[in-house]
Structures are given as C-alpha cells and as structure tokens.
Chain A
Amino acid sequence: MKYLSRLPALLLTVLLAVPFTAMHTLPAAAQDITVGSKKFTESVILGEIIKFTMTGNDIETAHRRDLGGTRILWSALLKGDIDIYPEYTGTLRQELLKGTDTHTLPLLRAALAKQGIRMSAPLGFNNTYAIGVTKETAARYGLATISDLRRHADFSLGFSNEFLDRGDGWPALRTTYRLPQQNVRGLDHDLAYRGLESGAIDGIDVYTTDAEIAYYDLFLLQDDRNHFPVYDAVILYRADLAERVPGAAATLTRLEGTIDAARMSAMNGAVKLDKKSESTVAAAFVTDRLKIAATPSDSGFVARLWKSTRDHLVLVIISLGAAILFAVPLGILAARHDRVGQCILAVVGIIQTIPSLALFVFMIPLLGIGGPPAIVALFLYSLLPIVRNTHAGLRGIDSGIVESAAAIGLEPGASLRIVELPLAMRSIMAGIKTSAVINVGTATLGALIGAGGYGQPILTGIRLDDTALILEGAIPAAVLALAVQGVFELAERAVVPRGLRLKSNG
C-alpha cells in the first residue's frame, strides 16, 4: 500500500487542477474591450462614460461595474480580464506603486509601462481630501486657507475615522499646519455633513468631489501648504490595447481634461442625491460635453432580476455539481483508508476555515475576475459538508452489515454500490443539502469579483444606500436557498431507500 502515502498530495493537485483548467476553457466575451470600475459611485460613472465614448466611436465595449476595491481592479487589468479602468494618481503612488519613484508624471508613466500599463492624461479633477466648512462659518471666522485655522483654537472639528488614522490624515495635517485645535471628534462620514449643517461641528474632512459639498453649499479651505497628495483622476489601460483595437487609445484621449471637479461632483450628486442611474448621468455627459450620441443602458426590474438569477444559478449549479462529483468519491476514499481519510478531511477542513471573502480574492491572481474564480471558490467551499457526511455516513453503517456484504461474496465495489452507499445516502444527501444552502448564500460574494448574481444588486444597493435595491438581491437569494432546500428534501425522499425510513421493532 505504498502508493497510499503519495495520495494526499496527488489528491490535492487533482482537486485544484481540474476545475481550474475547466474554467480556463470557458468562452471569452464577444466585446472588443472591457472597462472595469470600482465599487463606488464615481468610479462607476467614469466607467460608463468610458464605455459610451468607445461605443460612440464604434468600438464594442462592455462595462463590468462595481468590481470591488483597488487591488481587484489592478490585478484584473494586469491579467487582461479588463482592458481599462479609471484610477487616481494618488492611489497609484501611495498604494499600487509604493516604493518606486513616481513623483512626476513621466516617472509614473515609466513605472506603469514596466507592467504593460499606459495612463491617459488627467481627466481634469483631483479627488483628494479637503477641509470643508459652511459658507457662514467661513465668513464669520474669515477663513480662506487651512493656515487660517491656526488663529481659532476653539474651532471644533469632526473627522471620519479613516481620516483620523491615515498617513496623510489629521495627525500629519496638524503637524504640517501646527494646528491648535483640541476639540476633534471621530464620526461617520455621512453623519459629518449633518453635524456640520446643524452647527454641532465647524469643520469636517471631505473628498473634493463629494456631491454633498454642493448640496450643503460648503466652502473648502485652500490647502496652502500642499499637504494633501494629488488624486488626479486618470484612465489606465493595457499597452496591448493599441494593437488589439486600433483607435481605442486615441478615443480615450478625447476624455482628457474634460471633467472638472464641479462637474464630477454634480454627476455624483445626480446619482447619490437625485437617484438617477450612473448610465443616465454618463450618457448625458458624453452627449453634452463630447457630442457623442449615447443611450442610457438601464435595464428594467424584470431584466435585472433575470440576469442576476441566471448568473447566480450558473455559479451555484456548476460549483455544486462539480463539488458533488468530487466530494462523494473523496468521502468514500476517506472512509475506506484511515490515514488518507484523515488527510482528506484535514485538507477540506482547512479550506473551510479560509474566510469566504478571502477565498474569492485569492482566486483572482490565478483565474482573474468573473465567473470562473467565483465558481472555483464556491466549489472548494462546498466540499467539506459533502466529504464529511459521506465519510460519516459510510463509517456509521453497522459493522455486521458491511461484514455480511463481504461474507456473502460481494466484491468491495459491489458492496459499496449495493449496500453501503444506499445506507449512507441519507447522510450524503444531508451533506449535499447543507453545501447547497451555503453555496447559494456564499455565491452573493461572487459579485465582488465580477461574477454577477444576487450579490450585484446587494452591493450596488449598499453603495447607493438604496434599500429596495438591496432587497432585490437579498430576497431572491433567500428564496433560492429555501427552494434548493426543498428540492433536496424531495430528492432525499427519492434516493433514500424506503426500508431506512421504517422504525425498527427490535
């Protein structure tokens, strides 16, 4: 039985390799170009604007919106899952290319070029931090710059918790300007605007393109010592785009310098405060500013629901199906060989301890974004309940029954098929049902890496503070979980032998 000692390693390899290779063979999208955007309003609007600009120049373009955070977009761009996405120079310098000298635009371009990435000229706005006050406060204290705050030690400040901690946040700001204020509170960013309006606080931190700046008619103090880094909006795109889609790079230059801060914050406001769709706002922009005809691509409720249902079902069915095909044999192997069994249970157990969000994100460097990495993550996540229940179901069979099966002359395979698996079926089905329900719920995280599904409306709903949109994802996900549970209960009735549902009389 020497080969058994090599089995766990082999097993793990096969376990990971098969779905990975299967996923790679999925067909790519038909579009020439794919634009990505992060999961905040401004990024989604910019993504739509890029899409409309491209399609207006007859370049077929898809927009994968709300993909997640900076890291996800950056790796998707490097991998080629997306070709273009809007980014900020500050983020490139402080986060993505940290440790490289990028303090001038040419240096920054050079650093990006090394990774096969090109950068447009700035779009025209700088979305950095600023200190905002109401116009009345500014007039009353005679404030124009942050330096002016030095004269008003009793000035009360309310900052977001992130700003209180950041390297370029309050501690550094206070040092740069030698500010005397002691009355500084940490509070939620959205509440800060209300506190300011009610007069409870005098100044807050804002993002310079926040829609609320215009809405509350705030005055931004000038950063006269250039403390805050510049976060100029730019467009990043892959260097190979030029040869793949001639004219694409030239088309992008049309957007350079076209969006100033006022315009950007007005568009943010149209979405966040006036509840218009990003697509409507973006279409209006390209029509008005670039004279490109664009039709907002908003789908109705039914179409949206159908698309997320379809995406969600694809994620669940493929990953769960593969998990069943893999986990049942693994459970059988585990039940038949003690040592190998312990390895198998340990490995699938460890996979289960990886937080699900982390598991999804781990898949990106290997498989990029979209359905395939989500399916692999869900597949791995669905293994444990099935393997464990298959193992337990087989091990739980009375030893006299297994012994009798062998003793009457059934070969091991026949014993498994005719006697052991039917007897373990109830436990196996329970494992599959558990996996299925977990899978349906966990699949909502797929939206974070661009796999769509019911997570998409939930994510967008959270971003826009739109409860109806959140429910548009949450309710179907719950209904689907119940439906899956019901289906498996029916299936259980069909596959669990009748004799097992009888109570023994002795």
Chain B
Amino acid sequence: MHLMFHLSDISKSYGPLFAVAHTTLDIPAGRTTALIGPSGCGKSTLLRLMNGLIAPDTGSVTFDGEAVTAANASSLRRRMGYVIQQGGLFPHMTARQNISVMARHTGWTAADTESRLQVLADLTRFPLDALARYPAELSGGQRQRVSLMRALMLDPDALLLDEPLGALDPMVRFDLQTELADIFKTLGKTVVLVTHDLFEAAHFASDIVLLRDGAVEQRASMDVLLSAPASTFVKKFVGAQRGLNGARGLNGEPGL
C-alpha cells in the first residue's frame, strides 16, 4: 500500500503537557482518513506536525517518502492543501485573489490561473460572480468553498482539513458534508480530515483514528468502534456521540 504520510514515534509537548505523545501513524494514499477525539486531544497538533507548521520534539514525519524538515516544509506544503475551521481566508483579498495567491506567487500565467479557477468553481459549485467578493461579503458556506478551492489550486497530492465544517450552521453543514464527500470521491486524493463528530467522520471515512491525550486509542471503522470498542474510553466516547446524534442513523444519514 502506498503511504502518503508516515509519522514515526512522534511527540510534541507544550510545557509539561504532551499534545502528541509518542504516536506512530500511517496515512494511506488516495483515501480519506478521519482523525477524531475529544477537544484538546491533539488532533490539530497532529495535522500541523504533518505539514511541518510545527516541528516535533521527537520522531519524524515523512510525506510521500520525503522527510518533512524546516528547510523543505514550504515547498512540500504546496503539495498539501490545508483548510481550517474558520477558513483562514485573507480578508484583504477577494475570493479570486485568495484562491490564486499561490498560483501568482509561483509564476503561473493568467490564462492557466483563470482556467484552473473555472474548474474549481465548477467542482465546488461556487458562483463565478461571487469570486470578486471579499471574504466579509460571503456566507459561511461560501467561505469554506473558497478555502477549499485555495487548498486545491496547485492540485496537491493531499488535503488536510481541520474541522472544515465546524463553524457552519447545521443545514449548511449537512449540505456541504454531502458535497465534500462527492468531491473527495471525484478527486481520489489523500484526505486527512479532523472532526470531533463521529458521525461526520463516518460520513467521510471508513478509516477512523480515535485519539486520546495525544495518542491513538483505536483505529477502525465506525462499525468496529461500535461493536468492538478497544476500551471503556472508546465506549464512552461513542456512547456520548450517539446520545448527541440520537436522531441520526449510524451512517451519518439523517434519521427520519
């Protein structure tokens, strides 16, 4: 199996607290892997270690066979799209400028940039006339689409998404879940998606990594997490999520 990311015995601590503790994790290429766990368990930190935004205290990260270092992080990141909960859009740039900023920076022609923009707007079903708007003039859902287009602009090998739908209201969120899953299927890229919602994780991935205090507690599909929890912690986490999502079916489809 082709590995896109290989994290080996990786740790990161902030003061006495381990955000990530001696974790080894492989992310297979061409599929979606979901990282899940309670707030503060180290999901975001793990993602930042993967794209070299922070350096690990111990262990190493490789991306597509290449070690991620301070020296090559900037160039490797151009092969990994990254979307965060609030979108992280640059408020002084229009949607079009936000999406094409890296293309311009790396010297694409205007024509190449524009045709890529069209493809992405089509993919994400983003209205072309809204490309001229500033982030402040867009809805929450539109902002996340722009953020996704920006991440996809250079046609990266992998996509890292940190709770991309976390800030949206439930209706928009549900629509976008469905759409995103379709897009990922179309693209066939490696996707690492962070969420704290088990049902959202199941919606996107059959490969779910459940984290606890910076370490992997169990890695399995939704069904296995439900039927064979590895610990009482997993049982409790799954139980709490089912309580919250009582009205929804196990596959993340809306219940009736």
Q: Which A residues contact B (CB, under 8 angstroms)? A: 398, 400-401, 403-411, 414, 418-419, 422-423, 497-500, 502-506
Question: Does B78 lie within 8 Å of A423, measured CB to CB?
Answer: no
Please tell me which one of the listed residues A398, A408, A423 contacts residue B102 in the complex, with CB atoms under 8 A apart: A408
CA distance A498 to B48 in the complex (A): 31
Q: Interface stretch among B13-21, B136-144, B187-195, B206-214?
A: B136-144
- Cα of A496 to Cα of B5 in the assembled complex, Å: 41
Q: List 29 A-B contacts (CB under 8 A).
A: A400-B84, A400-B86, A400-B87, A400-B88, A401-B90, A403-B53, A403-B88, A404-B84, A404-B89, A406-B74, A407-B51, A407-B88, A407-B160, A408-B101, A408-B151, A409-B75, A409-B77, A409-B102, A409-B154, A410-B74, A410-B102, A410-B105, A418-B101, A419-B92, A499-B91, A499-B92, A500-B91, A502-B136, A505-B139
Question: How long is the Cα–Cα vector from A288 to B31 in the complex, in angstroms?
Answer: 105
Binding site for A on B (CB under 8 A): 48, 51, 53, 74-75, 77-78, 81-82, 84-94, 101-102, 105, 134-137, 139-140, 147, 150-151, 154, 160
CA–CA, A419 and B53, complex, Å: 17
Interface contact A403-B93, CB-CB below 8 Å: no
Closest 9 CB pairs of A and B: A404-B88, A497-B92, A407-B82, A409-B78, A499-B134, A504-B136, A502-B136, A409-B77, A499-B92
20 more contacts with CB within 8 A, not counting A400-B88, A409-B75, A499-B134, are A400-B86, A401-B91, A403-B53, A403-B88, A404-B87, A404-B147, A405-B90, A406-B77, A407-B51, A408-B78, A408-B82, A408-B101, A408-B151, A410-B102, A422-B92, A423-B92, A499-B91, A499-B135, A502-B137, A503-B136
Contacting pair B74 A409 (CB below 8 A): yes
A505 to B141, CA, bound (A): 13
CB neighbours of B140 from chain A (8 A): 506
CA distance A503 to B136 in the complex (A): 7
Contact of A404 among B78, B82, B94, B154 (CB under 8 A): B82
Specify the chain B residue showing the minimal Cβ separation from A504. B136
With contacts A409-B77, A409-B102, A410-B74 taken as known, whether A499 is within 8 angstroms of B93 at the C-beta atoms is: yes
Q: Which residue of B lies closest to A405 (CB)?
A: B90
Contacts of B84 in A (CB 8 A): 400, 403-404, 407
Most buried by B among A419, A499, A505, A506: A499
| Least CB distance, B145 to chain A, in whole angstroms | 14
A503 CA to B48 CA, complexed, in Å: 31
Residue from B53, B74, B91 in contact with A423 in the complex, judged by beta carbons closer than 8 Å: B91
| A223 to B: closest C-beta gap in Å | 77
Residues in chain B near residue A410, CB distance under 8 A? 74, 101-102, 105
Q: With the chains together, A340 CA to B147 CA distance in Å?
A: 34
Per the bound structure, the CA–CA distance linking A418 and B160 in Å amounts to: 23
A505 & B136 in contact (Cβ 8 Å cutoff): yes
Question: Within the assembled complex, what's the spacing in Å between the Cα atoms of A410 and B150?
Answer: 13
Using Cβ atoms and an 8 Å threshold, which residues of chain A touch B93? Answer: 497, 499
Q: Find the residue from B74, B85, B151 having the highest chain A CB count within 10 A.
A: B74
Q: List residues of chain A with CB within 8 A of the CB of B81.
A: 408
B243 CB → nearest A CB, Å: 29
- B68 smallest CB distance to A (angstroms): 13
A330: shortest Cβ distance to chain B, in Å? 23
CA gap between A505 and B92 in the complex, in Å: 15
Give CA–CA (A499, B160) in the complex, Å.
27
* Complex contact A498–B134 (CB within 8 A): yes
**Chain B residue at minimum C-beta to C-beta distance from A407:** B82
On whether the beta carbons of A407 and B53 are closer than 8 Å, the reply is yes
In the bound assembly, the distance between CA atoms of A400 and B140 in angstroms comes to 15
Please, which residues of chain B bring their CB within 8 A of the CB of A423?
Answer: 90-92
The CA-CA distance from A9 to B81 in the complex, in Å, is 42
| A residues less than 8 Å from B160 (CB atoms) | 407
Q: Which residues of A contact B135 (CB under 8 A)?
A: 499, 504
Q: Is there an interface contact between A499 and B94, defined as CB atoms closer than 8 Å? A: yes
A505 CA to B142 CA, complexed, in Å:
12
User: In the complex, A406 Cα to B85 Cα: how many Å?
Assistant: 16
Question: Shortest Cβ distance from B249 into chain A, in angstroms?
Answer: 30
Q: How far is the CB of B54 from chain A (nearest CB, A)?
A: 10
| B137 cross-chain contacts in A, Cβ below 8 A | 502, 505
CB distance from B88 to the nearest CB of A (A): 3
Q: Which of A408, A409, A422, A506 neighbours the largest number of chain B CB atoms within 10 Å of its CB?
A: A408
Q: How far is the CB of A501 from chain B (nearest CB, A)?
A: 9
Contact A506 B139 (CB under 8 A): yes
Q: Quick one: closest B residue to A506, CB to CB?
A: B140
| Nearest CB in chain B: distance from A269 CB, A | 67
Do B91 and A411 touch (CB < 8 A)? no
Q: Which residue of A lies closest to B160 (CB)?
A: A407
Question: In the complex, A497→B77 CA distance in Å?
Answer: 27
Partner pick for A414 among B48, B51, B105, B150, CB 8 A cutoff: B105
Q: How far is the CA of A405 from the CA of B93 in the complex (A)?
A: 12
- Measured CB to CB, the closest approach of chain A to B174, in angstroms, equals 18
Query: How far apart are B87's CB and chain A's nearest CB, in angstroms?
Result: 8
Minimum C-beta distance from B232 to chain A (A): 35
Who on chain B is nearest to A502 by CB? B136
Complexed CA–CA distance, A403 and B136 (Å): 19
**CA A418 to CA B103, docked complex, whole Å:** 13
Interchain CB contact under 8 A, A408 and B77: yes
In Å, the complex CA distance between A30 and B105 comes to 53
